[in-house]
Structure 1
Amino acid sequence: MNAVNESWISAVDTGVLRLITAGSVDDGKSTLIGRLLYDSKGVFADQLASITRSKYKRVAASEIDLSLLTDGLEAEREQGITIDVAYRYFATPLRKFIVADAPGHEQYTRNMVTGASTAEVAIILIDASRVQDGQLLAQTKRHSALAQLLGLKHIVVAVNKMDLVGWDPALFEGIREAYAKLAQQLGIAEFHILPISALKGDNVVERSEHTPWYSGPPLLALLEGLPVATAVDEGSSSRFFVQWVIRHGGHDVNDFRGYAGQLAGGRLSVGDEIKVLPGGQVAKVARLVQFDRDVESVLAGDTATLVLDRDIDVSRGDLIVQSDAEVRVAKEFEAELCWLDQQPLNPLRQYWLKQGTRLTQAKVKAVHTRRDMHELQHVEAGGGLGMNDIGRVTLVSRDFLALDPYAEQAATGAFILIDAATHQTAAAGMVR
């Protein structure tokens, strides 16, 4: 648990990094993102003028309230809190960033989950002035547990407001030790930790003169150097959900029939033998079409149209994988649900389950346990789940589903539940 792993720092253009800020209320998440935007020249002049004139400023008249760059809702500015996830984009010569500002309040846990579902890095903020006797706040624990649950690749702990505690190295070390214990308890293998002041800009973009005892890089340099999944792991299994069946010239003998979608993981090439799930029919890839041209292969993230060497039954929602891929096909399975709806889980209600492009009916057969985010352990669920609860359940679907554990393949390991009566998104799920 070192402050920073120097082997992770590089100086090459490494693409787009998606990150989310999390932590407790008033830890300075919005201010930190505002500081990153401001210091990296990612703010337009009219935006600065707008927040400078804002009646909701909470800083000295001569200073800029950088939190207003992300807290754009009227209710957020009135109360001085973040309610919904706000996304911002900025870039440096080395990397592009998409950053999500998540709410800190417990009642908005579901917003944090949706924001973190597409992120690769979580910046967990800790207010140094609010840590007493090495006791981390409940939301710090909750958001760290959610980051681990959602499989975020990197955890960066930013100990904020160090200027309010006189840049005390002993206090910082105590927080580092407390978070190391929490990380071990949650199963977080490695994290980075650094002292900052988001309001003043210390150790955010430039090194601070107040921390000669800190040997690591500032936050932006650390984020620029973190490795992300930019290179395609061609050894990973391909997953291709069929989004659209394309037909041209259906009256001709040699009519065109292709299957359009986006490849998740690995590589597909012309000549590869594939199978279509859940049915299990086998064929070979005869053509791969992108826009108006044929290509020999496609990589993860590419959209393409597959043409097979023989006619088989393939519909929207089917999954195309390599013929030797081991994918579980089942109607009954266990999953972890994060309940998003204000209506609590009712096992008697009918839900729609959406996985990729497949849509089927499903019911919750049993609720096994619920995660107690204060004690960080599984407890008896008591029969149901309420809004913001996370629990282990057994689901039964009407149709067969191709399933992978979420930790191994998010494309086939993630799904949502939709209330059949209200059409509200009821839960986000992860196959275990």
Structure 2
Amino acid sequence: MPPAHTYPLAVAQPPVPGEPAEAVRRRQAMAAAVVADGWAPSEKVQDALRTVPRHRYAPERDLKTAYDDLAVVTRLDGTGKPTSSVSAAWLQAGMIENLQLEAGAVVHEAGSGGYNAALLAHVVGPNGRVVTGDIDPYIVHRTHRLTTEAGSGDVTAFHGDAVLGVPARLVPRSGFDATMITYNAWDVAPAWREQLAEGGPLVLPLEIGGYTRAITFRRAGDVLHAERFTHCGYIRAQGEHARTIPVVDLLGGELRLRFEDGDPAPTEGLEEALRGPRHEIATGVKMGSGFYFGSLQLYAATPLPGFCRLSAHREKGTGVTLIANGDAPAILGNAALAYLVHVQTRHGDSPADREWEWAVHAFGEQRPRLAQQLAATVRAWDRDVRDSNNPDLTEPAGTPDRLLPAGDIVDRPLPRMVIQWPGRDVLLRAPVEHGGTPAATVEGM
């Protein structure tokens, strides 16, 4: 492991005292909202939200912005892309709750910024310790300065790529009691498991098919077992975890296909197909206003061959297609495409009176079969998964195929994952073909 610079809190530098009354009022209101929504059931996390001065970790913003329960961007790169932020308080609270921290715990945070480390330090108390790292030396220095000024407990900040783990001298002999990753990760670094104590939790925002879920894993030897899934979104990885997502533009940029977890599939003849007749199927699967269908995204992303995400730019448009909300799950065949939309079937003055139904639109010669396959996926989700929401997911760290549990194998550059869905086997009975060759399973939606 390359050398890493660490920045322990300077105990000789006292916290900067005082804060405006407005900050106290806004912090209490933010905490009350997070608690009311059920994200902070424990008293220790509630107390952290009420106590830790969030505005101290976003000095670039006014108090109203600092205490809005939204992410606050604190650093941009040269292109204006966010590279660091204070995440939404509800999400931070929920992920910390999933760590189930005890007083005196030693916690690793990958992806620094200050506020989340301060919350963790408050929860583990004066006998606990937080080790936080970031790939950006500016963020490391900033975290060191802000946590010191706010008097945030035993926090050590170090500079390094999270994929490489924590410098050995900062890792407890039996491993960290818990680890929390605070950026979108496409892969699971072996160091996160290896430096975690047996039975300890790892919470990370993991991208599956381009959709991010904060997944709580628990270590059992060389395997991480998933326990909870929370819809979320973080700034994407930098360093060794950074990657470029293959995209294909169609119809002069009106449509775009994103291949989140693989190489682009062939699209020859697809533009001509999109100008042809459209095949439509109503799935019969309905949902009311405010219904969370995030498990459908993951369900379609993991088992379906030829899967990709389809986005539309209506202002460019020829009007050949209709995409719900500008983004839709899709499957690609041989010069053929099918995708999901939701169509409002019942209107009303109140949200309770409104209803939508999932439907499939498809183009190309294979459109009836692609449409049926995608519709069958939605119906299978409705039958087997809709009320349970989350799959079983294990991360078995290089296990040979013959020893893997049953399920969909997701191979990544680092350890592989196995995702298990109820009723999943019926979805692969009619493989989609690209030029006569069965398509590889691609996670994406």
Q: Same fold (TM over 0.5)?
A: no
**For the superposition of Structure 1 and Structure 2, which TM-score range results when normalised by the shorter chain?**
under 0.3
Structure richer in helix, relative to its length = 2
Tell me the TM-score normalized by structure 2.
0.25
